[in-house]
Structure 1
Amino acid sequence: MELHSFGCRVLEEKRIQAAFALLEAERGKGNFPGFSALVGQGDQTLASSSGGFTHPVSRADNQPVTGSTIFDCASLTKVVVTLPLLLILVDHGRLSLSDPVSRYLPAFAGEGKEQVTLQHLLTHTSGLPSSLDLYSHGWSREQIVGHVCRASLTAKPGERVVYSDLGFILLGEIASALLRQPLEQAARRLVLEPLGMADSGFCPGDLLKPRIAATEFDPALGRHKHGEVHDENAAAMGGVSGHAGLFATAADLAAYAAMWLGRGTYRGRRLFSRAAAEAALRRWTAQEGAARGLGWVLRGDTQDGAGDWFSVRAFGHTGFTGTSLWLDPDGERFAILLTNRVYGGRGYSITRLRACFHNAVAAAFR
């Protein structure tokens, strides 16, 4: 295990070492080949650790995981790419969260779908199902989006939270259309480049493969996915979607976390307004056990992975591949955990480890 503590006086060294040791122990059990983790405060990295390999050790193309290893972030795409693009558009008066989705996607109509707003999509209260098989039919991107638009609602808009990839697929398409730029280019121009996230993006390509942690075995390909998006629906959309597809390093995500702790500003550069940041972190859902901001998971949600010691103001998000980003405005601290936990299949749950890691991180702060 590689550990860097940067001579930090904010953290108790033995405690932060113990936090990272939890990850190494779980890796040692064979639950994931590798991990990269980082703990920070404000815009500073306080400690980081990595361990394991991009593949299991038996592979000839194996590489040790380091702080520069790139991971498939899965659903972190929702809050790192799609959410900020929507907030920027609201800031510039290009849309309102109360706008009906059908204003931008006319095919999204019928069965009460005219009542679904952008706010509903951002808070997972649209009534759309969690997901659909959009990948096994050979559809084009336009056909996929059309199929999502025609999907039947499973609940009335605003009635309950149903975590939905479909809603963020639509949000990505809306953002791309309004910005008149493919989603990956808009993300690069408006989010990644301003934050200096040079190692992050969609469809990383073969040159970066040695730095990328592989994910699950794909029977159709006859091999593990490596440098290709793990999510099947995102793959069917060319690797670029509003719900999944982002690849990133822990260091790049630290810059993104710092921007949120700065309420839309990172090292003097503003990405979106303070008003937008504060609105995104407000609870928008009333359902018990469903505490959702705009995109973000808040304390008290059934998917809350902050652990026991992060404050009531903490917020974050997870990715199916074994990734997470959790922030606590109290103390301006954050924790990033990137793994390829799906390498051996989808049976292993990282939920408990994530919460225990966050507990140990919180306990390490003086």
Structure 2
Amino acid sequence: MFRVASTFVALLALPLGTYAADLDKDQLAKIDTAVEAAIKRGECPGAVVVVVHADAVVYRKAFGKRAVKPDEVAMTTDAVFDMASLTKPVATGTSIALLIQQGKLKPEDLVSKHWPEFAANGKEKVTVEHLLLHTSGLIADNDIKDYASGRAKALERIAGLKLEAPAGTRFKYSDVGFIVLGELVEKISGAPVDQFAKKNVFDPLKMADTTYTPSESLKKRIAPTGLRDGKIILGEVHDPRAFKMGGVAGHAGLFSTADDMVRYCRMLLRDGELDGTRVLDAKTVKLFTEPHPVDVPVTKGGDAKGSRSFGWDVDTAYSAPRGNLFKKGEGYGHTGFTGTSAWVDPGTKTAIIVLANRVHPDDKGNATPLRREIGTIVAAALGKK
């Protein structure tokens, strides 16, 4: 057995051992088997899984190993993970939503209104909304060589990129688009995205272990990722472009824990407020999370309709954490390349957080089947069929 920590726990709103009437705890217990099987298959060394329902933590466990090289270390529920692309909604998307709430930015704003140089080479019609929905026409990732001379030069080269498609005409998931959004946060607020998010999101929510560029003390709990220059990455962002930008970027760089993500997801499920502290207005949460239709390529010969929200996936090829039973179009979530994911289903007041270290130790592994299976198990526990 790989399980190393914790039994069912209700930490927040419900007394220990109490479950909402609509929750089948025996069904929920199948998460144990799913994670242990994924570890046995070699899909990840370990994981932390937390389920929130009705404003309470109803499942919280650590499995397997936090590290297998250079030494084996057991996974713990307070492990700190490189969140990879969960940075997009949690740090950058939330920051953009706050700037919209503050009246400093509009979704329909041209990016060039706030970053004039960005209009170069046919990008003058790209809006903030296009970036948030991944419909800007920007390339997914530009050449890593564009980052070799540091952050300022990298941003200059991004501003000089050409579009692959006219803005608003197609969906293509783009790290570059969220790098641009991270830069907009700084240009509009005067603070880099890491500082803005800390002051306005993470500190108010008491997400004490959520940060970019982790401190030495925090590194003691960090789950290492893959390899860089033949060495295990520990405490530095795995994403190579974010690394070249000093560890702070709009698309990657955030580190967090399952418990901190619980606080963040509870805030969203409570329409922007947690423990008496309001981070987002209810109408801003709606703006941030409601679906928008996008054209999703499914084959070389045709498109299908999908949907995204302003920073979150809703219904595309990236929707594995929803599982097979939650209704399409009613929830939202995101994945991270390193093995992380979160899925929020407001209709059932549920959030599912899966933090797996699938890229450790050799950049292999696969968290997608586990994400989907856990999402399906949780939906079944809620009576979904």
Normalised by the length of structure 2, the TM-score is 0.90
Q: Determine the structure 1 residue equivalent to 2:378.
A: 361
Structure 2 residue 32 is matched with structure 1 residue 20: yes
Return the match for 1:133 from 124, 127, 143.
Answer: 143
2:180 aligned partner, one-letter code: L
Q: Determine the structure 1 residue equivalent to 2:319.
A: 304
SS of aligned partner of 1:285: strand
Query: What do residues 1-36 of structure 1 show as CA deviations (whole Å, max 9, x unaligned)?
Result: 123212132343322221132012211222211111
1:277 offset after TM fit, Å? 1.3
Query: What do residues 54-92 of structure 1 show as CA deviations (whole Å, max 9, x unaligned)?
Result: 211x633x3211110000000000010111111111111
SS of aligned partner of 1:206: coil
Query: What do residues 125-163 of structure 1 show as CA deviations (whole Å, max 9, x unaligned)?
Result: 000010113357531211111111111111110000010
Q: 1: distance between equivalents of 2:294 and 2:348? A: 27
1:134 aligned partner, one-letter code: I
Q: 1: distance between equivalents of 2:26 and 2:256? A: 28
1:114 offset after TM fit, Å? 0.6
Q: 1:42 to 1:179 in 2, by over 3 A?
A: farther
Q: 2: distance between equivalents of 1:52 and 1:59? A: 16
SS of aligned partner of 1:201: coil
Query: What do residues 233-270 of structure 1 show as CA deviations (whole Å, max 9, x unaligned)?
Result: 00011111110000000010011111111122223321
Q: Determine the structure 1 residue equivalent to 2:14.
A: none
Q: Determine the structure 2 residue equivalent to 1:38.
A: 50
SS of aligned partner of 1:98: coil
Structure 2 residue 239 is matched with structure 1 residue 231: yes
2:51 aligned partner, one-letter code: V
Q: Determine the structure 2 residue equivalent to 1:91.
A: 101
Query: What do residues 199-241 of structure 1 show as CA deviations (whole Å, max 9, x unaligned)?
Result: 11011132222201000111x2x31101110000000111111
Residue pair 2:146, 2:157 contacting (<8 A) in 1 also: no
Residue pair 2:120, 2:161 contacting (<8 A) in 1 also: no
Q: 2: distance between equivalents of 1:101 and 1:264? A: 26
Residue pair 1:42, 1:262 contacting (<8 A) in 2 also: no
Query: What is the aligned-residue RMSD (CA, Å)?
Result: 1.6
Q: 2: distance between equivalents of 1:150 and 1:290? A: 30
Q: Determine the structure 1 residue equivalent to 2:70.
A: 59
Q: 1: distance between equivalents of 2:176 and 2:332? A: 22
Q: 2: distance between equivalents of 1:191 and 1:181? A: 14
Residue pair 1:311, 1:330 contacting (<8 A) in 2 also: no
Listed as ranges, the gaps of 5+ residues in structure 2 are 10-16, 296-303
> Residues 59-208 of structure 1: matches in 2 within 5 Å?
59-60=70-71, 62-134=72-144, 138-208=148-218
1:208 aligned partner, one-letter code: L
SS of aligned partner of 2:374: helix
Structure 2 residue 7 is matched with structure 1 residue 4: yes
SS of aligned partner of 1:190: helix
Paired residues in the alignment total 361
Residue pair 1:197, 1:255 contacting (<8 A) in 2 also: yes
* Sequence identity percentage: 35
Structure 2 residue 347 is matched with structure 1 residue 337: no
1:252 aligned partner, one-letter code: D
1:48 offset after TM fit, Å? 0.6
> Residues 216-227 of structure 1: matches in 2 within 5 Å?
216-218=226-228, 220=229, 222-227=230-235
2:306 aligned partner, one-letter code: A
1:130 aligned partner, one-letter code: A
Q: Determine the structure 1 residue equivalent to 2:311.
A: 295
1:349 aligned partner, one-letter code: N
SS of aligned partner of 2:27: helix
Q: Determine the structure 2 residue equivalent to 1:282.
A: 290
Query: What do residues 292-331 of structure 1 show as CA deviations (whole Å, max 9, x unaligned)?
Result: 1111111x32211201111331110000000000011111
Q: 2: distance between equivalents of 1:285 and 1:46? A: 33
Q: 2: distance between equivalents of 1:256 and 1:262? A: 10
Q: 1:108 to 1:359 in 2, by over 3 A?
A: same
Q: 2: distance between equivalents of 1:98 and 1:153? A: 18
Structure 2 residue 342 is matched with structure 1 residue 325: yes
Residue pair 1:42, 1:258 contacting (<8 A) in 2 also: no
SS of aligned partner of 2:89: helix
1:41 offset after TM fit, Å? 1.6
Q: 2: distance between equivalents of 1:152 and 1:338? A: 35
Residue pair 2:45, 2:357 contacting (<8 A) in 1 also: yes
SS of aligned partner of 1:128: coil
Q: 2: distance between equivalents of 1:28 and 1:8? A: 31
Q: 1:326 to 1:337 in 2, by over 3 A?
A: same
Q: Determine the structure 1 residue equivalent to 2:300.
A: none
Residue pair 1:202, 1:246 contacting (<8 A) in 2 also: yes
Return the match for 2:332 from 315, 336, 347.
Answer: 315
2:265 aligned partner, one-letter code: A
Q: 2: distance between equivalents of 1:88 and 1:137? A: 29
Q: 2: distance between equivalents of 1:365 and 1:4? A: 19
Return the match for 2:368 from 322, 335, 351.
Answer: 351
